[in-house]
Structure 1
Amino acid sequence: MIFLTQQSCNFAAVKFRFVLFFLLSCSRLFSQTIGGNSVFNFLNLPNTPQLTALGGINVSANSNDVGMAFYSPALLNKSMHTQINLVFNDFYAGVETYHMNFGYHNPKLNTNFSYGIHFFDYGNLAQTDAAGNTFGEFRASDWVMQVSASHSYKEKWNLGTTLKFISSNYGQYKANGLAADISLLYKDTAKLFSASVLIRNAGFQLKEYPGARGGDLPFDLQAGITQRLKNAPFSFSLTAHHLHVFDISYNDTLFNNANDFENSSEGFSFDKLFQHIVLATTIHIDKKVEATFGYNHLRRKELNIGKEGNGLNGFSIGFAVLLNKIQIRFARANYQNNTAYNQLGLNLKLNEYFGLGKLGKQAGW
């Protein structure tokens, strides 16, 4: 019996090393552009309040929020069965964002599935010619629709994949593409520890914008850990992003000199290293109440205004009320001095509100 257990553990370890090798290999195969030169950059914006509160990037916060599984499919688990995440918000300058993600667990396949969409409505914009003459209006929008699946192995491992269709529509300028995410999560419930690695947006354009060359997708390789303390109501997360390239700072010398910005030096620096890091902590005030704080150093560096006081740039905060049938989450992220983005979301367990009769029983509702 002991021999079989050790053999199973060895097999799981070999499988993990194989999957990790595959993930790292993919990061080289799909090493796409960073620093704002890619297409479909709206994919980088956080879709749900919990992710926003955690600093906008997190792959290891293993919670009962199906909205987090939209970002990293390995976070999708069977506790999210029939849970729907709904987010409605006004972004800056009247931009409206809508998000929905729905989870479903298939007991026969022992596999979790989710379907989601993230939509950005930029409203009506003036349509002009090269001379600036206005001759009408057009409606602009971006959206991504995706399907995810995850499967657990040996209780502590969860492998997830996502396939997404991306669409961008700016009047006569339209483009679309395909992308995939793959992530692996390790969680030890006894030690209250989780770790994960994620490949995001590995894909390509199907249709290019008229008159433009094909662009790269905002590819990212991320890894993170989360540790909850046993004797204190705190969880801590550390997430590293853009692991496939070291220098991710944007450096425009002429612009920096004209606006009193510091120019980025060549070679290694601790500031460049820290630009890859997002830190977060969650205070579990009660089983039904949480407060989350996050810090994204890259966001702060990119949005700072010269050497002026830049307030809480890069910081975020969130609160959650977690009831049996509903989760209410709110987040606020500071993107620039005196400018912040508020996000409100609801998570509902649909099978707690209504049934589907015999059809529902057959479908595992």
Structure 2
Amino acid sequence: MIRLLRGSVISALVLTSSLLASRAGYAQIGGQQAFSFLNLPTSAKLAGLGGANVSSRDGDATMLYANPALLNADMDGTLGLGYVDYLADIKQTTAAYVFNTEHAGRFGVGLTYLNYGSFEQFDAAGNSMGNFSVNEYALGVTDAYTSGNFTLAGTLKLAVSGIAGNHSVAALADAGALFKHPTKDFNVGLTVKNVGYQLKTYTGAGHEPMPLDVQLGASIKPEHMPLRFSLTAHHLQQFDIVYLDPNQRGQIDENNNEVRPKKTIGDKIARHFVVGAELILSKNLNLRLGYNHLQRKELRLDTRSAGAGMSLGVMIRISQFQLDYTRAYYHASGASNYFTVARNLNSLFKKG
């Protein structure tokens, strides 16, 4: 009875999130939403697979941020800690823990904190008024229910953003679903992320939209091959996510006329997709490669891409610890380093 009730609640959450997503489909991405940090990859594995993945299922507890339906028995008792060294002084830390109860099911708890460093404040006359900080964090609780080959899950989150003593608060929810093939290494995942409402604004007026993202993807490892491929589509609630800089100069044709860039159907489609690959050398060593087309198109320079949108990662298991590292390239000015360490606490505190 309890499991039936939990399954019904999660199903209702999935349906409600989908309906809200369809109503919010006109929202623009990039600079038009609050709490955009919630769409940043929080773990080395997720960043190594291109920054978006809803179907790569293993024992990495930090993947609950990618899709709550990725919770599974291999994560039970696992604590994952992540650290991201972004550009300049921006740092992010993340923690995730998954546990399974005897009657209430499988749960995950996650906390992520993003600090932008210290900034100097000036008045209108240009006089220094000291320094101020900018930081954001989110606390989430995930509940997952598995029946046969299907998993349904939901996450409730509380997010807080602070700028120079001014704070904004939002309540959000993620809903996810996963199909795992009974005999093959093949998964299909769907998630609706960051459906919610801004409870408190910075100024007390003008509520901002949340960073909604509907993602659908699949992962497959062909039999007798050490490779697992993933393809993920993001921002499915909005078809056109192409941004063209109105200040960008166009090319000059043979008639000395400026030809400005135009949106194409192919580019609109391609910007929705992220490709990831995992080279499984052994159970203790994996290599990862990711490509995010949207990042490459939006963050490259006019003359060169400088690796924008690419990411390279590695996973190593040493004794009871799993260590993950990813270097993700966002811009010619530098790349970000992701570190994740995980350990199963059940074996650590197991009696005698």
Q: Are 1:180 and 2:173 an aligned pair? A: yes
1:224 to 213, 217, 238: 217
Q: Percent identity?
A: 31
Q: In the aligned structure 2, how far is the partner of 1:305 from the partner of 1:139?
A: 30
1:268-316 per-position Cα deviation (integer Å, ceiling 9, x unaligned): 521111000000111101121100101000000010111x122311011
In structure 1, give the amino acid aligned to 2:299: L
Aligned residue for 2:232?
A: 239
Q: In the aligned structure 2, how far is the partner of 1:351 from the partner of 1:247?
A: 47
Structure 1 residue 317: deviation in Å? 0.9
Q: In the aligned structure 1, how far is the partner of 2:107 from the partner of 2:210?
A: 25
In structure 1, give the amino acid aligned to 2:137: W
**Against the structure 1 CA distance between its residues 198 and 249, is the aligned structure 2 distance closer, same or farther, given a 3 Å change threshold?**
same
Aligned residue for 2:343?
A: 348
Contact 2:311 2:327 (C-alpha < 8 Å) held by counterparts = yes
Aligned residue for 2:23?
A: 29
1:305 alignment partner, SS class: coil
Aligned residue for 1:45?
A: 40
Q: In the aligned structure 2, how far is the partner of 1:262 from the partner of 1:279?
A: 31
Contact 1:35 1:249 (C-alpha < 8 Å) held by counterparts = no
2:46 alignment partner, SS class: helix
2:241 to 240, 243, 248: 248
Q: Are 1:69 and 2:64 an aligned pair? A: yes
Q: In the aligned structure 1, how far is the partner of 2:85 from the partner of 2:331?
A: 17
Q: Are 1:312 and 2:307 an aligned pair? A: yes
TM-score normalised per structure 1: 0.86
1:142 to 132, 136, 140: 136
In structure 1, give the amino acid aligned to 2:185: L
In structure 2, give the amino acid aligned to 1:217: M
Structure 1 residue 230: deviation in Å? 0.7
Q: Are 1:168 and 2:168 an aligned pair? A: no
1:195-231 per-position Cα deviation (integer Å, ceiling 9, x unaligned): 0110000001011012762211110111000001111
Contact 1:256 1:262 (C-alpha < 8 Å) held by counterparts = no
Aligned residue for 2:295?
A: 299
1:215 to 208, 222, 225: 208
Corresponding residue pairs, total = 338
In structure 2, give the amino acid aligned to 1:220: D
**Against the structure 1 CA distance between its residues 101 and 259, is the aligned structure 2 distance closer, same or farther, given a 3 Å change threshold?**
farther
Q: Are 1:333 and 2:328 an aligned pair? A: yes
Contact 1:35 1:248 (C-alpha < 8 Å) held by counterparts = no
Contact 2:67 2:190 (C-alpha < 8 Å) held by counterparts = no
Structure 1 residue 189: deviation in Å? 4.1
Q: In the aligned structure 1, how far is the partner of 2:124 from the partner of 2:63?
A: 43
Structure 2 residues without counterparts, runs of 5 or longer: 1-9, 253-257
Contact 1:61 1:194 (C-alpha < 8 Å) held by counterparts = yes
Q: In the aligned structure 2, how far is the partner of 1:149 from the partner of 1:181?
A: 11
1:147-188 per-position Cα deviation (integer Å, ceiling 9, x unaligned): 1110101x2000110011111111132111011000000001
Report 1:253-292 matches (<5 A): 253=246, 255-257=247-249, 264-266=261-263, 268-292=264-288
Structure 1 residue 61: deviation in Å? 0.5
**Against the structure 1 CA distance between its residues 346 and 262, is the aligned structure 2 distance closer, same or farther, given a 3 Å change threshold?**
farther
Q: Which has the higher helix share?
A: 1
In structure 2, give the amino acid aligned to 1:243: L
Write out the 4+ residue segments of structure 1 that deviate beyond 4 Å after TM superposition: 16-23, 258-264
Q: Are 1:190 and 2:183 an aligned pair? A: yes
TM-align CA RMSD? 2.5
Q: In the aligned structure 1, how far is the partner of 2:138 from the partner of 2:249?
A: 38
Contact 1:251 1:263 (C-alpha < 8 Å) held by counterparts = no
Structure 1 residue 233: deviation in Å? 0.4
1:104 to 99, 105, 114: 99
Contact 2:250 2:259 (C-alpha < 8 Å) held by counterparts = no
2:88 alignment partner, SS class: helix
Q: In the aligned structure 1, how far is the partner of 2:173 from the partner of 2:124?
A: 37
Structure 1 residue 30: deviation in Å? 4.1
Contact 2:11 2:152 (C-alpha < 8 Å) held by counterparts = no
2:223 alignment partner, SS class: coil
**Against the structure 1 CA distance between its residues 23 and 177, is the aligned structure 2 distance closer, same or farther, given a 3 Å change threshold?**
closer
Contact 2:180 2:186 (C-alpha < 8 Å) held by counterparts = yes
1:256 alignment partner, SS class: coil
Contact 2:87 2:334 (C-alpha < 8 Å) held by counterparts = no
Report 1:110-149 matches (<5 A): 111-149=105-143
